Amino acid sequence: MEKKKGRAALHILAAVAFILLFALLLSLVSGAFRPREGLTFYEEPKDSLDVLFLGSSHMLNAVSPMELWRDYGMASCNLAENGQVLPVTYYVLLDALQRQSPKLVVVDVYKVVQDTLYDTKSYLHTSLDGMPLGLAKLRAVYGLLPAGERTEFLFDLTLYHDRWRDEEGLKRETRDPDFKGYVPLTAVEPHEGFAVLPESETASLPETPVQYLAKIVELCRDKNVDLLFIAAPFTTPVPDDMDRQRRVNAVADLAKTWGVPFVNMMHELDGMDFDLSADLADTYHANVSGMKKITAWLGAYIAAHYAIPDRRDDSRYHSWDAAYKRYETSLEKS
């Protein structure tokens, strides 16, 4: 009887081991076929980054870590993505804090306007596909998606399996690693005369983004990481969308309640010399000129309020100097 029980236990263990090995191999094979973007974060040495920037495309196109490296020696990375709503930001941060121990996390709160767990599946893939299969990714997939829609995010070979038929399909879509996550926009779309609403004008906030902002606050406190909320400058496509500004304004009261600093750059345009007729690439996003002004202003703010090390004389960061030179050359050509 005991021998039968022992054999049964071995069979169960063998089955579990096979399933785990199969899942691991499937995840690795999936990586060969998926389009890759912005994975340079996972190539950074463990616990080497002091500042992380997260949020939607508002942050993605607004803050350049390499500008901060040049001016302050800050070792940082921009983990923002197109369509990254705040629930997704929470899980991206959860994964990031398993790999890095930053002194400061900066979150753009614009997506407080959107009451949803994710924007589109395409945008969700952009944020999650590069995340290695692990506890954070499992929590993200099961926390954001209903049963029946999770497989393509856990094992995205199911989504990209036809890429092996096309040699072009095997080529990974990558961003310039020297940009440390920042994506430049070079267009100029004038928005002169756009009305910036007073900070006192607010609107009620949706439940979902507030819930996940609270989770971000709790996570940073648990990890003993400073947290800063910001809102990069933006306009809106039609006057009826002015409630977007009101909702962003309303974050100030939440942040005060939580004891989290909040910089609403919509009310710092003059101090940044930010020109709505020249520094936006489109309705919502900063162009390169706008990025330089936002990053310069934010860098000065961070330097004045947080003890972020200057890594420029640290031998472990010599590669950043070479990366900056390549970044500068690439940015001039863009």
For 125-144, the pLDDT digits (tens) are: 999 998 999 999 999 999 99
Residues 62, 64: Cα–Cα separation, whole Å: 7
Q: Are 202 and 26 in contact (CB under 8 A)?
A: no
pLDDT at position 162 over 80: no
Range 34-333 has CATH code 3.40.50.1110: yes
**Mean model confidence pLDDT for the chain:** 87
Q: Name the one residue in this structure whose structure tokens are 């974050």.
A: 251
Q: Give the per-residue pLDDT at 16.
A: 39
DSSP alpha helices (H): ranges in 129-261?
Answer: 135-144, 151-154, 157-160, 207-222, 243-258
Which among 307, 228, 216 is positioned nearest to 264, based on CA atoms? 228
35-39, 133-137, 300-304: segment of lowest average pLDDT: 35-39
Name the band, by pLDDT with cuts 50, 70 and 90, for residue 164: very low
Q: Give the per-residue pLDDT at 90.
A: 98
CB within 8 A of 248, min separation 6: which ones?
109, 110, 112, 113, 231, 264, 266
Cα angle 296, 210, 283 (rounded to 5 degrees) comes to 45
For 77-100, the pLDDT digits (tens) are: 999 999 999 999 999 999 999 999
Which among 138, 37, 28 is positioned nearest to 79, based on CA atoms? 37
Q: Is the pTM of this model over 0.95?
A: no
73-87, 167-181, 248-262, 307-321: segment of lowest average pLDDT: 167-181
Q: Are 302 and 76 in contact (CB under 8 A)?
A: no
- Please report, rounded to a whole number, the percentage of residues in the chain having pLDDT higher than 90: 77
Q: Give the per-residue pLDDT at 7.
A: 60
Range 299-303 contact pairs with CB under 8 angstroms and sequence separation of 24 or more? 299/67, 299/68, 299/71, 299/72, 299/74, 301/263, 302/51, 302/68, 302/72, 302/74, 302/104, 302/106, 302/228, 303/72
Q: Give the per-residue pLDDT at 175.
A: 80
pLDDT at position 306 over 90: yes
What phi and psi values does residue 330 have, to the nearest 5 degrees?
A: -65, -40
Name the more confident of 234 and 7: 234
